[in-house]
Structures are given as structure tokens and as C-alpha cells.
Amino acid sequence: MTKSPKPAAAAKKAKAAPKAAAAPSPTPAEIVGQVGASVGHTLERALDPLTAALKRAGLRRAQKDADQGVPEAIQAAKPAAAPAGTPGKPGLAVSPLAVPFPTIPPIAGVEIATGRAGFYKHAREDMLLMRFAEGTSCAGVFTRHGVGSAPVDWCKRQLAASKGEDVRALVVNAGCANSFTGKPGADAVRRVATAVGKRFDCRQRDVMMASTGVIGVILDDSKIISNLREVETRLTEDAWAGAAAAIMTTDTFPKGAYATAMIDGREVRIAGITKGSGMIAPDMATMLAFVATDAAIAPAALQTLVSLYTRTTFNCVTVDGDRSTNDTLLLFATGKSGAPKIHRAGDRRLADFREKLEAVLLDLALQLVRDGEGASKFVKITVNGAESPLSARKIARTIAESPLVKTAFAGEDANWGRIVMAVGRADEPVNREKISVRFGDLYAARDGLVSAEYDEAAMSKYVKKQEFEVSVDVGVGKGSATVWTCDLTKQYVAINGDYRS
């Protein structure tokens, strides 16, 4: 989590009340179909005809899998055992919504190592180094935050210069965002890239950078550069779990996803990690995420894919409504699988790959919500009957980010009046006489009035679950959208009140 500096505040840790057993979670394939259907029309208007056609085809395939169940490749990636989980910040209990870290095998052409650069006072690894095979393609999506950060500026500039061709390394640090640091911060990034380029015999523009931590602190690049030699000796193909742990800040469990796909009869692998717990909001969610595949995909096609699927995954989650200065999603394709190289995002041979890539990204995005700071509830909010998918998404996001709605969730109170309040303040077209609100299958309101079958006891029992759904129909059209969020608890205040202390 990237945070702005603030005075230390005393805050008592609040104990979470015991929760009822979690309801079964929807599979990644089911969610892919639901999200895609909600925003597909908006994407088609916003993207070029090729991408729109690609999305329509992808939605049909995703819906087919939703009917059949979770893809076998993703299902096999999840181990039965719960993760041990080492909190990024001492004293934080692992989220009750945590999911296991998947078994991720090596991705051909990717080497990983972690180390301790010393950005934290306590003993923990806070540095990630990844080396990619020669010829690796890279594409990225970054924050649109008005402040931005030095590593985000660096990646955007270098990808524009290289057009995403032959990216050879990635360096990530936790504990310092290097944001709002001006020229000194930019110089620090350049020095790290230069040092890595010398060690890996590549250009500095072939080195991607990412940082997370406190805003307004200049990166001490000497801490990274002085550790490069030692960290490089530990490069291995099998270190995805360690990589996910090294980039954690207030995260309470490492987050990863994995799937296999077929391209022209050849199996390819897709693996990714992400971090994020607070300061999470759409556009493009607050997090760092790094995904790699051994498929051979040209940079332009790779960029189309990552731009497209960010909209239906990371941009459909929110924890607290705050956007970050450091959002970075990088996708690397090493080309070492033996599958033929693909130059067009719409190539038929990419059909299965596109579907699995979207599922991996969504899996990662939902884990961010599950690890929301202080979260005890995982909530799916769907808005139907809106003027357009874009309008529906704005209404859903307004509900999901309302402090009053989120605290009601935390208190296990099915306060549907707060939801109606949030619908109205979204400033989108609604028909008050037709608004309906449901908790699961239970109607709280129908056609602008309290539902005739309203059952307070049943509602209260339903929202005691760790995972539940809220559906709203605003009665003006056919637009729909889904956003995932969590509750807002006393622990969120405690974590953020002493973030720097």
C-alpha cells in the first residue's frame, strides 16, 4: 500500500467478532463472464474495432466456462492447504478472507530473487529482482493519478522508447514509494537501472522499476545497488511465493495466480503476483502486479491485451476509494514455450490464452479485496437497469465506496437505506419509483418501496456471512456492472492511524 506521510496517531487494535463460515466463492471463470457481460458494451465503444471483436469472442468463451465450472488449469493451481502467511507489517493478523498461495511452477525465461535492502526497520525481505530471457516482450498499464511517481514515469518513458521489445529485468522495492520526490527521485531510479543494466549486460531502458511504501521519501538507491551482487547469486526459476511476500506492505498474505493455456497446440504458462491492501480503488486499482508468460507475443498485441483486461479486473475492485500514485501492472512474455509467435491480439490462436489471462488478472484483483485493510467481509455489488454499463459502474462504485454502507457491512447490519442513499448520490439517472434492493435472494425494497416480503431477521442472518452479494436495480435501462469491495472496520482506522509509527 502506498501512503502519504501523516502524523503518528494512537489507535487501539480492535478485535474482530467471530464470523460465520464463508459462503462458497464464485470461480474465476464464473466471475470473468459476469464482469465481462457488465462492461462489455462500454469497452466496445471505447476500444478499436479489433479489440471490440476480440472482447465479444472472449465473453462467449468465458460464459461457456462459467456454465461448465472453473478451468482445470486454474483449479489445479490452488493447493488445499491454507497459507502460512507472513504479514508485511508486524502485528497484523492474516485476513479472515485470505486464500492459499497457488503452486506456481517455473516460467521458462524468468528468473527470480529476493533480498533485504533495509527499507524497513524490522527484519524482512523488501527487494525483488527478476531477470528475463533475451527478446522478452513487455506491456504495462499505470496509474492515472495526477501526482504519479518516479518509477511509474520511468517505466512509461522506457516502454515508449523501446516499444516493449527486449525488456530484460524488473526491480521492485517495498517501504519507499519514491513518489513526489522530483528530480532526486528520478535520478535514483536511473542509477538503479544503470547498475542493473551493467550486471545483466543490457541497456538501462531494458530495466523496469516499481516501488511501494511511504510517499514523499526519496529512494535511497544505494540500498538496492549495494545488494545487487548478492541478490543476483540467488536468481532461480522457482521463487514466486517469495517474490509475492517481498513486495508486501500492509498486506497480510502473499497473492498469486497461475493458469495454463493452449496456443496452436502448445501449452503455455501464465503466472502472476500482486500486492495491495489499502488505498485500493478503480482506475487502475491500487497495487503492484507483475505477470509473466512463456508465450511468444509481440509487444503491441501484449499491450492490447493488458489494457483490455485491466478494465474488467483491477478496475472493478475497491477497498477504500483512494487511488495511488504508484499503480503498476506489467506483463512479460518470454517466448520460451515453443509456441509460435503471435503478432495480433485478435489472432484465433490466442483464444484460450486471452481467456486464461483475464482469469489470472481477476483472481489477483479479487485477492486485493480479500486483503483489504481490516476487512472481514467480501462483498459483490451488482447494479442492473442503469442507463448504460458506464452509469451502472459509477453507481456500483459509489455504493461500494460509501463509508456508511461499508460500516453497516462491518456491523452486519442490512441497512438498505444507506444503499439507496448511495444510489442517489451517484448523480446518475435512476427511477425512484422502480428502485429495488436485494441482499442475496432477499428483497429489501421493490419498486421504490419497502418490499412486502421484507424479513429483517433473514436479512440480518444473511449479512453475518463472510461473503455475500448486494444487487440493485435502478429501473431506467439495461446497463449493468459489478464491483467487488469489503467492509470498513475499526481495524482499518488502527492500521492507517499508525502507518508510519
Residue 243: name the closest of 294, 170, 159 by CA. Answer: 170
Alpha-carbon span 404 to 296, nearest angstrom: 48
Q: Please identify which of the residues 286, 325, 328, 482 carries the catalytic annotation.
A: 286
Q: What angle do CA 249, 253, 257 make, to 5 degrees?
A: 110
H or E stretch including 184?
A: helix 182-200
Residue 99: name the closest of 305, 319, 371 by CA. Answer: 371
Alpha-carbon span 269 to 261, nearest angstrom: 6
Alpha-carbon span 107 to 114, nearest angstrom: 17
Q: What angle do CA 240, 270, 361 make, to 5 degrees?
A: 90
Give per-residue burial for 206-230: e unless 16+ CB within 10 Å, then b: bbbbbbbbbbebbbbbebbbebbee
Q: Residue 286 catalytic? A: yes
CB 12: neighbour CB atoms within 10 A?
10
Alpha-carbon span 263 to 40, nearest angstrom: 24
Alpha-carbon span 74 to 78, nearest angstrom: 7
In 3-state terms, what secondary structure has residue 90? coil
Q: Are 486 and 97 contacting, i.e. CB atoms less than 8 angstroms apart?
A: yes
Q: Are 297 and 332 contacting, i.e. CB atoms less than 8 angstroms apart?
A: no
Question: Which of the residues are catalytic?
Answer: 286
